[in-house]
Chain A
């Protein structure tokens, strides 16, 4: 909720991510300056930051390794956007860098700002005039909703299933502990402390594992997997080369030249991509070729995006359809190649796909493709901020859950008093609740009554 916690210092990216250039991380609240003092070093050592002055330097992680070269500024209260002490760190705009700086500050105790929270604070501190209040409300609403939807969409099924199952395990334990508190007269045996400790440890290491997954966030470290798929000789390798801007894959007119997959890295709008060129898909009896086709199919399964290439100057053939079969259920862009020649009208099923006409040979239409890719993953403006932040929010929730479980482990070794154990378990559940939805006291009671025969 936004209205509480106004004493906490908050942090969030202040610019859209993924658009290259400069990214700004904004911090607001009483600990803003402390962040700067802790993590920012300027070549000409600064004792006292002057308000509203840009400083050049680096942001360092707690181990002393530089994260990025930045410009930093502090704007002291009340002369700032929010009316509180505000620090802004201008860094290189890549999502990875912004993420690392956010994480650094969050681990140092800041909270990720809620959607619209900077604006809300500005309003509450009298920095925005009353006539803008309605606008503020709309910003909060639209951002909250966008963030909420994105958080849901972004969280992939496997991850959410894990988090739900962890929640269920904690609910189970809390129910045991609570039953022991509220029903001392009933014939139920107390929770076995050793078992409880053991399973909470297990939950905690699951969360660690999830967190590690977040930290090494594949998309941002290794890049998005973008698969180039199509039947032979539609210009897949030419497309790869055109995107890379140089000749890497062997390009010939003999169909099936690319017998194996070829991988190349490249960045579009600050998003690292892994481009994977595959063997042309066709019905073949050649063993080597068949193996290439099989591998292309495997790669398709793990791709984040498929660039499905067809030859726009040729009518659709069976091999096109065979290749399309491999890309079904995948996020897909239809690249209609050879736009430098006479092109034919698209026919179903290709009319269902989002089509980008281009010529890999002349390079015309390439920019259009790049733009499509970047909007697909990081569509500009508000959403892109939320995209980045929503998964940070999950990470933050998991971190807090784990802190509570760590306290639980400490508590359990000092006391077995169930009401203290319950306090920590509840806090862990509350944190997970930001992902799974709240666990109410009634949920716990329900569990107790379904598990134990209670009642006089």
Chain B
């Protein structure tokens, strides 16, 4: 065993989406940081879908960006098709999505990491943690090197005891073509952590040159791609379309014929798969009445022939995969470049974490990403950023970042994980957020930049721009209230297409009318007109949705009350005779940090919360 001889503040294990954000966040707060990963040729790999964003996921990316994370800038630089989803619906549920050039995405992220000050990127397979008196002090690699660190963030993704299934064949692997990470999850179990098993899957990758696109419907991106990051002015990389095709009865027949060799249906797979991400064999079995399923053919990159067929994730044997694909219009002569597969992996029950993502039992050890039972790059990156920042803040003796459920999807995500745990791969949906109307992509910066600044994640340039934007929003709001048109302003009235205005009206009152947009009003005030488009958008949303926003703010006000009542560390529930023993057990196990969190633990009754509230206020 060799001691590397340098003590880091933060050691991050795994350079997936969680690990990259964790390492960057820690290094950017000024901590000396080490990022260790199995293979340096596979940094920030997209294991599955070559896309970033979508409903709730796009929201997460904007939040990561607002907290100074890299994901937004990275996809802006490497995205080859950008679309805003739900444009016909209200602003809260509009979301950005982009196809990524998978290779460029990974390459750029690796460069950013290599160029980052305070950050060392090294290859190494961590097999043990060094623990001293219930505090982590470093890691040990399979190569026999000891790295000492004041804190450790584990982001091992789908790699721990990964088992890949293709038909009835299976072999150990962390992702197709990569080895698994053996030993670490057993070690974690030995340390007393509860480890479980989950499953996910991915479709085959197809050869673009073997596909006949001529008969297929093309799906182009938006004419003017809108970037994810506030730092990006414009998308400059070449944009390409996706294509849409459908399965048919013949496809379904072939799939049914192969079920006897499916690891899912023959009981070989034990791990729990996601309900929202069923394989094509699952869809065919569970929804026999559906005569076709939609498939998006997504390019994996500008310089790659690989096509990702979104919608036909499968672990059927390769011959069945090829046979069913060839029944699909456009794919009659398709060639598979990599077969689809399912993967089982170990995760660590996230209810063993504090809201800072630190484990409850081992001090200074943080978990982020798929190891916590989530799935998805954005979910992973969001946790990585928080865990990395909190590990850094710990070594600096500062309070951790805890985003509230009312402040961001990141808050909803982490609170759900640590309070409820998860038994299936957890993915973010907007319906999980109770204050959805407040958690919009368009105001992520207003919700989180301040938090990021306080943690040292936001540089001066970004902070100054943000402060200026806030001032402009205030000034614009002032103009809307002050500038009025009178009953005699005939030209203005007719230009707005209004019949008449008996008492005149302020611009704000005009804007409340459903048919009038802020763009319609700009001719009435030069100062308002001179503000940037992003500010106009904020002003418009604030006025148009004022009633709903107000309602949600009231709900938040009530929510905050219990959220602000802290439960002291080590609070002795056993001494509270008025709590039933079941409730006591639940509280002892969960160690909620606030009264609000306690109230969300399943099985903790309102009466118990009332009792706790009395005790806590007495203290």
B565 — which chain A residues lie within 8 A by C-beta? 3
The 7 sampled A-B contact pairs (Cβ below 8 Å) are A2-B610, A4-B558, A134-B578, A181-B86, A184-B86, A446-B275, A456-B310
Interface residues on A, range: 35 or more
**Smallest CB-CB separation from A181: which chain B residue?**
B93
Interface: B171 (CB within 8 A):
no
Q: How many residues of B contact A (CB 8 A)?
A: 55
Q: Are A184 and B55 in contact (CB under 8 A)?
A: yes
Interface: B311 (CB within 8 A):
yes
Chain B interface residues (CB < 8 Å from chain A): 49, 54-56, 85-86, 89-90, 92-93, 274-278, 283, 286-287, 290, 293-294, 296, 310-311, 313, 429-432, 434, 436-437, 514, 548, 551-552, 558-559, 561-562, 565, 578, 595, 599, 605-607, 609-611, 613-615, 617-618
A202 — which chain B residues lie within 8 A by C-beta? none
Among B85, B431, B551, B599, chain A packs the most CB atoms within 10 A around the CB of B431
Among A178, A186, A423, A449, chain B packs the most CB atoms within 10 A around the CB of A423
Q: Are B276 and A137 in contact (CB under 8 A)?
A: no
Q: Are B578 and A141 in contact (CB under 8 A)?
A: yes
**A453-B613 contact given A4-B558, A5-B558, CB 8 Å threshold:** no
B429 — which chain A residues lie within 8 A by C-beta? 178, 182, 441, 445
Chain A interface residues (CB < 8 Å from chain B): 1-6, 114-116, 120, 123-124, 130, 133-134, 136-138, 140-141, 144-145, 148, 178, 181-187, 414-415, 417-420, 422-423, 426, 441, 444-446, 449, 453-456
**Alpha-carbon gap, A138 to B610, bound state (A):** 11
**Smallest CB-CB separation from B48: which chain A residue?**
A456
**Alpha-carbon gap, A456 to B275, bound state (A):** 11
Q: Are A449 and B276 in contact (CB under 8 A)?
A: yes
A139 to chain B minimum Cβ distance, whole angstroms, is: 10
A422 — which chain B residues lie within 8 A by C-beta? 431, 436
A150 to chain B minimum Cβ distance, whole angstroms, is: 14
B547 to chain A minimum Cβ distance, whole angstroms, is: 9
B276 — which chain A residues lie within 8 A by C-beta? 445, 449, 454-455
A182 — which chain B residues lie within 8 A by C-beta? 55-56, 429-431
Query: Which of these, A123, A133, A137, A445, contacts B431 with CB under 8 Å?
Result: A445
Q: Are A3 and B562 in contact (CB under 8 A)?
A: yes
Among B92, B275, B310, chain A packs the most CB atoms within 10 A around the CB of B275
Among A2, A115, A422, A455, chain B packs the most CB atoms within 10 A around the CB of A455
B564 to chain A minimum Cβ distance, whole angstroms, is: 11
B613 to chain A minimum Cβ distance, whole angstroms, is: 4
**Alpha-carbon gap, A422 to B54, bound state (A):** 19
**Smallest CB-CB separation from B49: which chain A residue?**
A456
Q: Are A453 and B618 in contact (CB under 8 A)?
A: no
Q: Are A184 and B85 in contact (CB under 8 A)?
A: yes
Q: Are B578 and A137 in contact (CB under 8 A)?
A: yes
**Smallest CB-CB separation from A130: which chain B residue?**
B618
Q: Are A186 and B294 in contact (CB under 8 A)?
A: yes
B559 to chain A minimum Cβ distance, whole angstroms, is: 8
B604 to chain A minimum Cβ distance, whole angstroms, is: 11
The 5 A-B residue pairs whose C-beta atoms are closest, nearest first, are A144-B607, A3-B613, A2-B610, A417-B90, A453-B287
A178 — which chain B residues lie within 8 A by C-beta? 429-431
Q: Are A3 and B49 in contact (CB under 8 A)?
A: no
Q: Are A2 and B310 in contact (CB under 8 A)?
A: no
Q: Are B613 and A2 in contact (CB under 8 A)?
A: yes
A10 to chain B minimum Cβ distance, whole angstroms, is: 14
B275 — which chain A residues lie within 8 A by C-beta? 445-446, 449
**Alpha-carbon gap, A178 to B561, bound state (A):** 28
**Alpha-carbon gap, A130 to B387, bound state (A):** 41
**Smallest CB-CB separation from B440: which chain A residue?**
A419
Q: Are B431 and A3 in contact (CB under 8 A)?
A: no
**Smallest CB-CB separation from A144: which chain B residue?**
B607
Query: Which of these, B55, B92, B548, contacts A183 with CB under 8 Å?
Result: B55
A130 — which chain B residues lie within 8 A by C-beta? 618
A417 — which chain B residues lie within 8 A by C-beta? 89-90
